[in-house]
Amino acid sequence: MYYLIVHDDLDGIASAALYCRLKKIPLNEVVLEFSSPATLPNTLSSLLKRRIGNEDVIVIADLGCNATTFNELVKLISILKNKGVKIEWYDHHIWDDMWVKSFLDLDVNLVVDTSTCTAELIVKSLGYEPDELSKATCAADLWKWDHNLAPYLYRLAYICEKRGLLHELFKRFYEGNILDDECLKLIEDYVSKEIENYNKVLEYTKVSNVNGCRIAVTIKDEGPPSRSHVAHYIMARKNVDVVVVYEIGHGLSFRSMNVDVRSFARALGGGGHLRAAGAKLHIPLHVKILSLFSRKILLAYIEKIVRETISRIGCNRI
C-alpha cells in the first residue's frame, strides 16, 4: 500500500494526485491522509497502529519539519523504518541542514527544493516535464499568479478543504479533470462571498511599528477570503511590511514581500517560507471568554504576542 500524507492545500493535493498518476498507482492501493507540519507526528503515530510493514510506502509531501516536531519525527520514522517501511519525503519549505542529515541517515528518500512548489518538485523527481496542473499549482502556491488556472484552482482547493471534499478533489486531479462546470459554479459562489467579506476584516486590523517594521495584525472568521488573500489585501490597503492573520480556530499566518517572516514563525514553534510562514498559537481561556464580548480583546492579545516576537527577533529584510 501507498500511504500519502500531504498538506491540506492546493500544493498538497496536486502533489498527491500527480505522484499517484505518474507512478500509475491504482486508487485502491492508496490511503490519503491530510495533515499539517504541526500534526504530522500525530498522523505518523496513527499509521503505526495499522498493519504497516514490508513493501508499504509512506510518501510525505508539502509538509516541512520544524524545531518542535523534529525529535518526535525522528523517533517515529526510526520505528517505521525498522518495520521495513519505505519513506519518501518531498518538500519545498526551508530545512535546517541538521534536519536533512538526520533523515537521510535514516535512509529516508528526502528531496527538498525551495525554488519551486512540491507538485512540480515531484513531477521533476519522477522524470517528467511540468504539466498544466503543476504549473498552475506553483503559480498559486509561490504567489506568482503567472498561469491562468492558478486563481481558480487556489480557490477550488480552499472551498474543498472547508467542505470536506479534498479526497474528491484528489480523485479529480488524479483523473486529469482539473476544472469543469461544477467546479466553476463552486468558485463563482465563493468569489461573491469573498468580495463581501474583505472589508469586514479591516474592522479588526491594527497597524503599528516594531523594530523598523510596519506591521498589521488582523483577525478573520472561517470562510472566504483565505488567509493569504486577506494578508495581501491588507498589505496593499495599509502599506505595511508584514501582515499577521489569525483565523478563528486556527493559528497565525505571517506574510511579507520584503521581510523574513519565517524567523517569527520559528520563534513561535512554527516554520515555512521566508515570505510566508505560520505557527500555532495558544489562546488562554480567560482571553477566549472575554473575546466573546469584545473581539478587540483577542486582537490586543495577538498583537502583544506578535510585537514581543518581532522585538526579540528583529526585522530582517530579504
Supply φ then ψ for residue 31, to 5 degrees. -115, 120
List the strands of the sheet with 2-7, edge to edge. 30-35, 2-7, 57-61, 86-91, 109-112
pLDDT of residue 22: 98
Of 222, 258, 224, which is closest to residue 243 (Cα–Cα)? 258
pLDDT of residue 193: 85
Question: What domains appear along the chain, each with residue ranges and CATH number?
Answer: 2-179 (3.40.50), 199-313 (3.10.310.30)
Per residue in 150-205, pLDDT (tens digit) is: 999 999 999 999 899 999 999 999 999 999 898 999 999 889 888 888 878 888 89
pLDDT of residue 248: 82
β-pairing, 30-35 vs 2-7, is: parallel
Residue 88 has pLDDT above 80, yes or no: yes
Per residue in 91-144, pLDDT (tens digit) is: 999 999 999 999 999 999 999 999 999 999 999 999 999 999 999 999 999 988
Q: CA-CA distance, 187 to 77, in Å (whole number)?
A: 39
pLDDT of residue 250: 82
Average pLDDT of the residues of the chain:
94
SS3 state of residue 127? coil
Residue 33 has pLDDT above 90, yes or no: yes
- Tell me the pLDDT band of 268, cut-offs 50, 70 and 90: very high
CA angle 244, 280, 117 (to 5 degrees): 75
Work out the number of other CB atoms within 10 angstroms of the CB of residue 315: 22
Q: Say which residue the cell 491594527 belongs to.
A: 206
pLDDT of residue 304: 95
Per residue in 202-258, pLDDT (tens digit) is: 888 999 999 889 999 999 988 888 888 899 899 999 999 999 999 887 889 999 999
| Nearby residues of 195 by Cβ (< 8 Å), 6 or more positions away | none
